Structure 1
Amino acid sequence: MRDLAQIQQTNYDVIVIGGGINGAGVARDAALRGLKTILIEKSDFASGSSSWSSRLIHGGLRYLEYFEFPLVRESLKEREVLLHTAPHLVNPLQLTIPVYRDRSRPYWKIWAGMILYDVFSFDKTLPSHRMLPQEKFKQIFRSIDKDKLAGGAQYYDGQVTFAERLCLENVLSAQNAGASVLNYVEVMELKIEEQRISDLVCKDKLTGESLTISASKDAVIINTAGPWIDNVCQRGNKAGEDVTIGDGKKNGGTKGSHIVVEPFPGAPKSNLYVEAKSDGRPFFILTWLDKYLIGTTDLPYKENIENIKANNDEIDYLLQETNNIIPTANLKRDDVVFTYSGVRPLPNSEGKKPGSITRKHIIFDHKTEGVNNLLTLIGGKLTTYRNVGEEMVNEIFKRMKRSPQPCRTDSLPLPGCILPSDERIQQAITEYSPILSVNTIDHLFFSYGANAMEVLSLTKENPELRKQISPNLPDIKAQVVYAVEYELAHTLVDILRRRTTLAMNGHYGMDLLPAITETLQKHCGWTDEQCDRAKNEYRFYMEHNCIPDYQIV
């Protein structure tokens, strides 16, 4: 339950604005180190950039081209941390790079990049790269375009299948460590007194009520709102007058779009990192949830970021470039089963090519702009969120002139941490397989890690929750109840898009709405009116964010 009365009676040491992966990482680290922390998010956790990525935990092979060696090393180090602290969410991923003689990255350059990548990941547990000469490559990848093929390279990075759940587990870990966490709470005013933010006037978007979050005398306010960082800075209020903190031009994000397709003729079993034939831009063809995730684009974007989706041109570009590399694919618009798109939170870099804008994060101190206790994160990647949190909390202790407590997030597992060999999985199969299919039990451990035991326990208490949401999917009704009761879900988009991947399994989840709303009515107390409103909001979201324009009738 959201105890807003108690929250308004508390003075917080750390107030984090923005509940994406970076804000969640800061809140978790701060709470684990004993700071009185609150995390607020104007929509749902991970509803922005954190759910718009290619779902890779990677060192950034392409960053080597721009000599961003410290960023590559940082990313590779953090990749290794996540492989150990979140093995249920982050898995090794083999990637293959086809190299062509008529494109911008020759064989020798890729080879040199592979060697450097191995050098910077000297402490890795993943295998090192291997180069594939032309004939060897052709033998292994028979369906890939062979015209002017010079060979290829294979290496390992990591994949986070459920990026939204990685964010959520950080949020729940912060909460377990004593932090207050609120989604659907938007900052309306930052009250500035004597060059410090003293209070945040916010709106609870679930009830429409106003609430005030108070800062302690030496509190630090952290702005991790991603593409919305400038919007937050425009909410200043000094002596009753609205003011903008700074120039309001710190974010310069680019638009990235992805498409999801079913397996297609010639689809590779390995994941491809490919240079587009038309413009030389790298993109991925990734295996993901028995489907293929293809992306991403990288385009300048200055428009509204509240409702953003892949346009027809971007979809056609990704389809055509996939067909170029795998001629037997013959993908068409009708093959697209889902799209998502968003804006990367990058530093404002007017005049630069999108691909060349640094992916290195910047912690901006607003002291130079007349506010002494506000720090804004510019940039930030999914891979490096934990290190961002550590840096930020170290700076908070420095500001407070307190001796810093040691950071634990580099070794402390996330709540769902479990290995495939864990005996609890076999115990669950033995205990629950008489009432649930082994496929469903495996799916729950794949999605929730160790927390699958909590989902399974709901089916003991209520046999109705054992039922599958759809005969074609392993997901069960207990997951809907678990999302609402234990995972801070408030809307159908939260449930189908971020707590589960039900929205991405075909028909944009529309065919599942009757079974899900019936479950919410019966087991979570939702009214007919709530369900009708939620279904309308869900359809609006899908039409404005995920369903291509050419599919909307």
Structure 2
Amino acid sequence: MRDFSVIERSDYDLIVIGGGINGAGTARDGALRGLKTLLVEKGDFAGGTTGWSTRLIHGGLRYLEYFEFNLVRESLKEREILLKIAPHLVKPIQMTIPLYAGGARSYWEIQAGMVLYDLLSFDKTLPNHRMLPAPKMRQLFRAVNAEGLKGAAQYYDSQVAYAERLGLETVLSAKQAGADVFNYAAVTQIDRNTDRAIAVTVRDELTQKEYTVAVGAQTVIVNTSGPWVDEVCALGQKGKQNAPIGDRKLGGTKGSHILVDSFPGAPDTALYAEAQADGRPYFIVPWLNRYLIGTTDRYYDGDLDRVKADNEEIDYLIAETNRIIPTAQLSREDVKFTYAGIRPLPYAKEGTKPSSVTRAHILHDHKDEGVNNLISLIGGKLTTYRQVAEELVNGVYRKRGEPIVPCTTATTPLPGAIAPNDPRIVRAIIDWEKTLSPTRIAHLFTLYGARAMEVLDIVKQDRELAEPIVPHLPDIKAQIVYAVEREMAHTLVDLCHHRTTLALQDNYGLDAIAQILPCLEKYCHWDLETRDRAVANYHAYLQAHNLPDYDYQATHLRR
């Protein structure tokens, strides 16, 4: 049972609004430096843009053509840090760029870019790039379209298959350091006087009760709500009149993805290709025995709480995949899951090409708009969240007029950090060989890292919890109990989309729910009304975010 009343009894140094990866990182950094910190998120942690990314920790190779060298260097440095502080979640992945005659970027331009990419990542542990002549490329990737093929570039970046869990572990680290963290906690009002915010109203979305957080003389509010930054600013109150804090700051673009099973000619490693339709780079990435294909880049002005891949985007990704790998012959029936997220980019003037809008982040100080104790983050990438958080917390100290306490997040591992050859993994496989297969044990360590031992402790309470949720997937029932008891999961969406990836791997999670509900009743004491409401909310969520609109969806899903 969570205690919301604590936020009315506490004097906070730092209030963070928005629990995506950047807000989580800011709360963690602030708490680790000794600031009394509150983090509130209106949905679930990492449940928005963070989880709907391409799940890559990358340097941003294509940013070189826009001369954003500082952003690329920052991204490459942060990639290396994440490989060290979260080795169970962030892992190297090989990328291959097929190069064609008539492409927007020539063979020599790409080669020059790769050399610069290596120079900017001078402190990396990953291998340098290599250029492949056309015959070698055809030998290694026999299914890739050979017409006009000039060769390829190969290099390494990193993948975070469970991006949601990177966000969650960052939140858990903040909590361990003393932060108060609440998901399903929506900010509904920001009261202010002539020059500063003086109170924040927070609604518990699970009970609909509202609480007021006092904003002290030294309290700083950081708005890391991603695509919702402008909406949070619009909550500013001055007396009894609505007074939005400043003008529009965001001009978000939508990035959509599709998930498909392995197909004829599917590559063993990731492809980074150029779309023929618009010249935009996109990825075909192996992901948990499926392939993640994306992304698109289109301005979006719709409902931020109902974002989904549309039919045109789905067809675009299918067509481009079939073009680069002709044997794929993908169709809509092959699409197993779709999702879309909004990039919180700076507002750009009309006519600006979406891909040309800077991916560099902006720390917007609202002092010139009459709110001296508010900073909003515009932009920010999954890869650079730790660095962004460091800059934000440094800004908090400046606002407070205090010396900046050194940041330690670059060297402080996340709670689950564990090396792949750690002896604890082998010991767990041996100790549990009669109960759980090595595959399931390995999966727990991949998902939870060192915290997998805590999940196994739950299994000791009842061996029924060692049973799989879905027979062909490695997740076990103990993970459901652990998510509710230890990871602040409150809904079926949390359980199937964010604590696990059951929804993305098996029939939108609908088959898994049949096993999850009895588990929630028996071990987590969810009554019938709670379970029925959770199921209804889950179906509504799928309809709003993931289920495609095309006609065959009713028969496409197994019943």
Q: In structure 1, what is the Cα distance between the partners aligned to 2:284 and 2:330?
A: 13
Q: In structure 2, what is the Cα distance between the partners aligned to 1:122 and 1:5?
A: 49
User: 1:511, CA displacement in angstroms?
Assistant: 1.2
Q: In structure 2, what is the Cα distance between the partners aligned to 1:242 and 1:206?
A: 26
Q: In structure 1, what is the Cα distance between the partners aligned to 2:521 and 2:191?
A: 41
Cross-structure match for 1:53: 53
| 1:79-478 superposed matches below 5 A | 79-247=79-247, 249-350=248-349, 351-478=351-478
Matched residue SS, 1:50: coil
Q: Which amino acid aligns with 2:448?
A: Y
Q: In structure 1, what is the Cα distance between the partners aligned to 2:440 and 2:320?
A: 36
Q: In structure 2, what is the Cα distance between the partners aligned to 1:259 and 1:430?
A: 38
User: 1:193, CA displacement in angstroms?
Assistant: 2.1
Matched residue SS, 1:156: strand
Q: Report if aligned partners of 1:496, 1:502 keep a CA contact under 8 Å in 2.
A: yes
User: 1:198, CA displacement in angstroms?
Assistant: 1.2
Q: Which amino acid aligns with 2:291?
A: Y
Q: In structure 1, what is the Cα distance between the partners aligned to 2:346 and 2:385?
A: 16
Q: Report if aligned partners of 1:521, 1:527 keep a CA contact under 8 Å in 2.
A: yes
Deviations 1:493-514 (A, max 9, x none): 0000000001011210111112
Q: Which amino acid aligns with 1:394?
A: N
Q: In structure 2, what is the Cα distance between the partners aligned to 1:359 and 1:366?
A: 21
Q: Report if aligned partners of 1:127, 1:156 keep a CA contact under 8 Å in 2.
A: yes
Q: In structure 2, what is the Cα distance between the partners aligned to 1:242 and 1:9?
A: 27
Matched residue SS, 1:443: helix
Q: Which amino acid aligns with 2:301?
A: K
| 1:2 corresponds to 2:9 | no
Q: Compute the TM-score of the two structures, normalised by the length of structure 1.
A: 0.99
User: 1:214, CA displacement in angstroms?
Assistant: 1.6
Q: In structure 1, what is the Cα distance between the partners aligned to 2:296 and 2:354?
A: 10
User: 1:237, CA displacement in angstroms?
Assistant: 1.2
Q: Report if aligned partners of 1:50, 1:164 keep a CA contact under 8 Å in 2.
A: yes
Matched residue SS, 1:26: helix
Identity of aligned residues (%): 57
Q: Report if aligned partners of 1:416, 1:451 keep a CA contact under 8 Å in 2.
A: yes
Q: Which amino acid aligns with 1:280?
A: G
| 1:65 corresponds to 2:79 | no
Instruction: Give aligned pairs, total.
Output: 552
Q: In structure 2, what is the Cα distance between the partners aligned to 1:193 and 1:369?
A: 12
Q: Which amino acid aligns with 1:170?
A: T
Give structure 2 stretches of 5+ with no counterpart: 555-559
User: 1:401, CA displacement in angstroms?
Assistant: 1.5
Matched residue SS, 2:187: strand
Q: In structure 2, what is the Cα distance between the partners aligned to 1:272 and 1:432?
A: 38
Deviations 1:101-150 (A, max 9, x none): 11111100100000000010010000000000111111111110000100
| 1:515-530 superposed matches below 5 A | 515-530=515-530
Q: In structure 1, what is the Cα distance between the partners aligned to 2:467 and 2:100?
A: 51
Q: In structure 2, what is the Cα distance between the partners aligned to 1:180 and 1:398?
A: 22
Q: Report if aligned partners of 1:86, 1:416 keep a CA contact under 8 Å in 2.
A: yes
Q: Report if aligned partners of 1:27, 1:171 keep a CA contact under 8 Å in 2.
A: yes
Q: Which amino acid aligns with 1:9?
A: R
Q: Which amino acid aligns with 1:325?
A: I
Q: Report if aligned partners of 1:543, 1:552 keep a CA contact under 8 Å in 2.
A: no
Q: Which amino acid aligns with 1:345?
A: P
Q: Report if aligned partners of 2:265, 2:328 keep a CA contact under 8 Å in 1.
A: yes
Matched residue SS, 2:326: coil
CA RMSD of superposed structures (Å): 0.8
Deviations 1:358-400 (A, max 9, x none): 0000000000111100000000000000001111111111111
Range 2-11 or range 343-352, more displaced: 2-11
Question: Which contiguous aligned blocks of 4+ residues in structure 1 show a shift greater than 2 angstroms?
Answer: none
Deviations 1:270-315 (A, max 9, x none): 2100001222110000000011000000011111111111111111
Q: In structure 2, what is the Cα distance between the partners aligned to 1:173 and 1:227?
A: 24
Q: Which amino acid aligns with 2:256?
A: S
Deviations 1:17-45 (A, max 9, x none): 00000000000000000000000001111
Matched residue SS, 1:217: coil
Matched residue SS, 1:425: helix
Deviations 1:138-193 (A, max 9, x none): 11111100001000100000100000000000100000000000111111110102
Q: Report if aligned partners of 2:194, 2:370 keep a CA contact under 8 Å in 1.
A: no
Q: In structure 2, what is the Cα distance between the partners aligned to 1:189 and 1:278?
A: 44
Matched residue SS, 2:348: coil
Deviations 1:403-425 (A, max 9, x none): 22211000100000001100000
Q: Report if aligned partners of 1:14, 1:215 keep a CA contact under 8 Å in 2.
A: no
Range 456-465 or range 260-269, more displaced: 456-465
Cross-structure match for 1:489: 489
Q: In structure 2, what is the Cα distance between the partners aligned to 1:241 and 1:530?
A: 38
User: 1:6, CA displacement in angstroms?
Assistant: 2.2
Q: Report if aligned partners of 1:188, 1:203 keep a CA contact under 8 Å in 2.
A: yes
Q: Which amino acid aligns with 1:100?
A: Y
Q: Which amino acid aligns with 2:553?
A: I
Cross-structure match for 1:552: 553
Q: Report if aligned partners of 1:436, 1:466 keep a CA contact under 8 Å in 2.
A: yes
Q: Which amino acid aligns with 1:135?
A: P
User: 1:216, CA displacement in angstroms?
Assistant: 2.2
Q: In structure 2, what is the Cα distance between the partners aligned to 1:519 and 1:368?
A: 53
Q: In structure 2, what is the Cα distance between the partners aligned to 1:219 and 1:8?
A: 14
Q: Report if aligned partners of 2:194, 2:238 keep a CA contact under 8 Å in 1.
A: no
Cross-structure match for 1:507: 507
Matched residue SS, 1:11: coil
Matched residue SS, 1:250: coil
Matched residue SS, 1:490: coil
Q: In structure 2, what is the Cα distance between the partners aligned to 1:301 and 1:399?
A: 33
Q: In structure 1, what is the Cα distance between the partners aligned to 2:232 and 2:287?
A: 34
Q: Which amino acid aligns with 2:336?
A: V
Q: Compute the TM-score of the two structures, normalised by the length of structure 2.
A: 0.98
Q: Report if aligned partners of 2:29, 2:390 keep a CA contact under 8 Å in 1.
A: yes
Q: In structure 1, what is the Cα distance between the partners aligned to 2:38 and 2:433?
A: 41
Range 467-476 or range 167-176, more displaced: 467-476
Q: In structure 1, what is the Cα distance between the partners aligned to 2:545 and 2:398?
A: 41
Q: Report if aligned partners of 2:100, 2:150 keep a CA contact under 8 Å in 1.
A: yes
Q: Which amino acid aligns with 2:264?
A: P
Cross-structure match for 2:557: none
Q: In structure 2, what is the Cα distance between the partners aligned to 1:552 and 1:270?
A: 30
Q: In structure 2, what is the Cα distance between the partners aligned to 1:260 and 1:552?
A: 15
